[in-house]
Amino acid sequence: MSVTILAIESSCDETSAAVCTDGKILSNFIANQSVHEKYGGVVPELASRAHAQNIVPVVDTALSSANCSLPSVDAIAFTQAPGLIGSLLVGAQFAKSLSLALNKPLIAVHHMQAHVLANLIADPKPSFPFLCLTVSGGHTQIVICESPTQLRVIGETIDDAAGEAFDKSAKLLGLPYPGGPLIDKYAKEGNPDRFQFPEPRIPGLDFSFSGLKTSILYFLQNAGTSLVYKEEFRASEQERYQFIQENLNDICASIQQRIVTILLHKLRKAAQETGIRDICLAGGVSANSGLRKAFEEMGKQQGWRTFIPAFQYCTDNAAMIAITGYYKYQAGQFAGLDIEASARAEW
Ligand code: KG4
Ligand code: ZN
């Protein structure tokens, strides 16, 4: 019997709905919220309000572009955690109401599990167990995926996420939010070996990005003359501005290269320690062209089979919630109507 899932994602600032039948994505519609741009980051209350406004038309569009009617939906999947609580509540309440009105089962999805399973949307798919480096604005994790419903985090950031490292670096350079894609753009024209930012020495498979942010701050305060704080070198506002203007491409390329090497050195270590050869990327930062290229190159050197979801399934989207919903449906993992959205969630 064929199974159709309607999925809703509203964990941060994208309202998205998708329809999938038997694991095949029929539609995936995303409404971005431009309202946050002028604030330099996502404003939680504005995000919740925008979700409340967007959710009906977004679900409607996803259904109609999949040529699907509500009665033919077999289950409703939604992002239950983690994320901004006000944003999650909008999607959760909407999904619960639909489930109640249609008398169809409800499936609660963990956003980070869904990022990993985005790698199961297209063919060829990785074989189990596979490793996944999930890099987003809120998380940086290395996960072992034993099956679609058995995932284990074996390494994660102890401070900032990789996406935050990109966005905070961009902010220091005076670039608008979210700065990750802009660093990617300028880095394409720059020399990544021009400036040497330090690689942190963190034991095991965990990551840290806060030291990088501090060294970039000092580097800019000293207009490129030093990575450590030195009062005597402190450049004026004008000197700093001019230094950034004249060297933006090289600075972006050097920052991006360091973030990428921090990520890939730990991923290589994880692959060596586990012996796993099917390796995936996931999350918004996997849209980064430098990371994608270096990941593919490392894969060739190390003899991995590498997988990266299509661009539209890397950043937040409901297709990944739909595919996870589909596997949870197969495993009989349903939620009660009393389930609550949660800002934080352990695996
Ligand atoms: O997965 P995602 O869409 O949302 C979260 O769950 O956080 O990831 C968003 C993050 C942001 O930090 C954004 O700057 C980053 O992904 N990002 C990029 C690129 N595209 C998105 N970072 C670097 N290069 C990119 N091309
Ligand atoms: Zn995400």
Residue pLDDT, tens place only, 15-28: 999 999 999 999 99
> Amino acid identity, residue 280?
C
Q: What is the pTM of this model?
A: 0.94
Does the beta carbon of 12 lie inside 6 Å of ligand 1?
A: yes
Q: Is the dihedral of CA 65, 69, 72, 77 positive or negative?
A: positive
Candidate from 315, 316, 321, 344 with most ligand 1 atoms within 8 A of CB, to mutate: 315
148: tokens are: 């679609």
How many CB atoms lie under 10 A from the CB of residue 103?
6
What is the per-residue pLDDT for 232? 67
Please answer whether residues 279 and 253 qualify as being in contact, where contact means their C-beta atoms are separated by less than 8 angstroms: no
* 3 state DSSP class of 40: coil
Quick one: average pLDDT of 64-90? 97
Does the beta carbon of 309 lie inside 6 Å of ligand 1?
A: no
Residue 37 — very low, low, confident or very high, per pLDDT cuts 50/70/90?
confident
**High-pLDDT (> 70) share of the chain, %:** 99
Q: Which CATH superfamily is domain 4-120+312-330 in?
A: ATPase, nucleotide binding domain (3.30.420.40)
Does the beta carbon of 138 lie inside 6 Å of ligand 1?
A: yes
Does the beta carbon of 169 lie inside 6 Å of ligand 1?
A: no
Give tens-digit pLDDT for 41-52: 788 889 899 999
**Delimiting residues of CATH 3.30.420.40 domain(s) in the chain:** 4-120+312-330, 130-308
What is the per-residue pLDDT for 305? 98
Quick one: average pLDDT of 307-316? 94
Q: Which ligand is nearest to the CA of 163?
A: 1
CA 291 to chain CA centroid, Å, is: 13
Q: How far is the CA of 288 from the centre of ligand 1 (A)?
A: 8
Please answer whether residues 265 and 160 qualify as being in contact, where contact means their C-beta atoms are separated by less than 8 angstroms: no
Give tens-digit pLDDT for 217-262: 999 988 877 777 776 667 788 888 999 999 999 999 999 999 999 9
What is the per-residue pLDDT for 41? 78
Q: Which residue has the higher pLDDT, 176 or 9?
A: 9
What is the per-residue pLDDT for 32? 83
Does the beta carbon of 257 lie inside 6 Å of ligand 1?
A: no
Helix-strand-coil split of the chain, %, nearest 5: 45, 20, 35
50: tokens are: 């925008």
What is the per-residue pLDDT for 258? 98
Decide if pLDDT at 7 tops 90.
Answer: yes
278: tokens are: 């099917």
> Amino acid identity, residue 89?
L
Q: How far is the CA of 336 from the centre of ligand 1 (A)?
A: 32
77: CB partners within 8 A, 6+ apart: 5, 6, 7, 8, 95, 106, 107, 108, 109, 321, 322, 324, 325, 326, 328, 329
Please answer whether residues 254 and 193 qualify as being in contact, where contact means their C-beta atoms are separated by less than 8 angstroms: yes
Quick one: average pLDDT of 267-279? 98
* Residue minimizing CA distance to atom 10 of ligand 1: 137
Quick one: average pLDDT of 130-156? 97
Q: Tell me the fold of 130-308.
A: Nucleotidyltransferase; domain 5 (3.30.420)
CA 197 to chain CA centroid, Å, is: 24
Decide if pLDDT at 294 tops 80.
Answer: yes
Residue 177 — very low, low, confident or very high, per pLDDT cuts 50/70/90?
confident
204: CB partners within 8 A, 6+ apart: 155
112: tokens are: 């980070």
Quick one: average pLDDT of 99-105? 98
Quick one: average pLDDT of 150-170? 96
| φ and ψ of 77, to 5 deg | -110, 145
Give tens-digit pLDDT for 332-341: 999 999 999 9
> CA 103, CA 171: separation in Å to the nearest integer?
47
